[in-house]
Amino acid sequence: MALSLKARSVFLGAPGAGKGTQAKEVAATCALAHISTGDMLRAEVAQGTELGKQAKGFMDLGKLVPDDVIIGMVQKRIALPDANAWILDGFPRTVVQAEALDRSLPKAQALSHVVYFAVPEKVLFGRLTGRRTCSKCGAIWHVETKPTKVQGICDACGGTTVQRSDDHPDKINQRLVEYRTLTEPLLAYYRGRNLLRELDANRAPAIIFKELLQLMQ
């Protein structure tokens, strides 16, 4: 089963819902561009750019980066030649961002699907506190459900695995509060446009992946 190369999808869900992991898998399988605003921002921070410096203060506090910064970054990315078909992971996070995205897309390149990854909050908290990310290749691990063979060393590339600053318990609580306040209204926004597809993401990744491909047909 393969997705149309013209697919333009948004993956929505709370932090830790698994949307980033699934976005990478679907994009690799179906030759779609995986556009992760989180990855883009962390790269800017690591490179010490002006945008990275602006974003770091918000990210360290577990807060969302301002709309104008994110919108400009995404508009620039989807204008690149490889972005005829894509998955947006981590954007939009507010209705303002969603409306800006709609204005940015020509009618011929309108959104195809919006998939909501539904996971109970208590499950999200456990996923996030145990999550570890490779500082070299970006691979994601978990101390309980997906541990590395050697603690602190990435199985994929041998890099060091670290806990992101926004995955500490106090930051997680802040992120979930902001998600409920700012991002959940997007569900009503996209449901009203008949684009929303809900996915039970509290299951094994392989099962989620299979159902995800079916939802996006």
Instruction: Give the per-residue pLDDT at 5.
Output: 52
CA distance 139 to 211: 23
Catalytic residue selected from 8, 93, 132, 171: 93
pLDDT at residue number 64: 77
* 193 carries an active-site annotation: no
Per the annotation, the verdict on 127 as an active-site residue is no
- Exposed/middle/buried for residue 99 (C-beta within 10 Å: 0-12, 13-18, 19+): middle
The catalytic position among 63, 146, 164, 191 is 164
pLDDT at 88: 95
Respond yes or no: is residue 93 known to be catalytic.
Answer: yes
Q: Is 122 a catalytic residue?
A: no
> What is the three-state SS of 125-191?
HHHHHHEEEECCCCCEEECCCECCCECCECCCCCCEEECCHHHCHHHHHHHHHHHHHHHCHHHHHHH
- Domain boundaries in the chain? 8-120+167-215
pLDDT by residue for the chain (217 residues), tens only, comes to 455 556 899 999 998 999 999 999 999 998 899 999 888 888 888 888 888 888 888 888 777 788 888 888 888 888 888 888 899 998 998 899 999 999 988 877 889 989 999 999 999 999 999 999 999 998 999 999 899 999 999 999 999 999 988 888 888 888 898 888 988 899 999 999 999 999 999 999 999 999 998 888 7
Q: What confidence score (pLDDT) does residue 203 get?
A: 95
The one catalytic residue in 8, 42, 127, 131 is 131
Cα angle value 28/12/210 (rounded, 5°): 45
C-alpha distances out from residue 45 to 90, 170, 187, Å:
17, 21, 30
CA separation for the pair 36, 14 (Å, rounded): 14
CB count within 10 Å of CB 190 equals 22
Please tell me the predicted confidence (pLDDT) of residue 143. 95
- Confirm whether 77 is a catalytic residue: no
The domain covering 8-120+167-215 belongs, at the CATH homologous superfamily level, to P-loop containing nucleotide triphosphate hydrolases (3.40.50.300)
Q: Which residues of 153-175 are buried (b: 16+ CB within 10 A; e: fewer)?
A: ebeeeebebeebebbeeebbeeb
Specify the pTM. Answer: 0.81
Do the Cβ atoms of 47 and 156 come closer than 8 Å? no
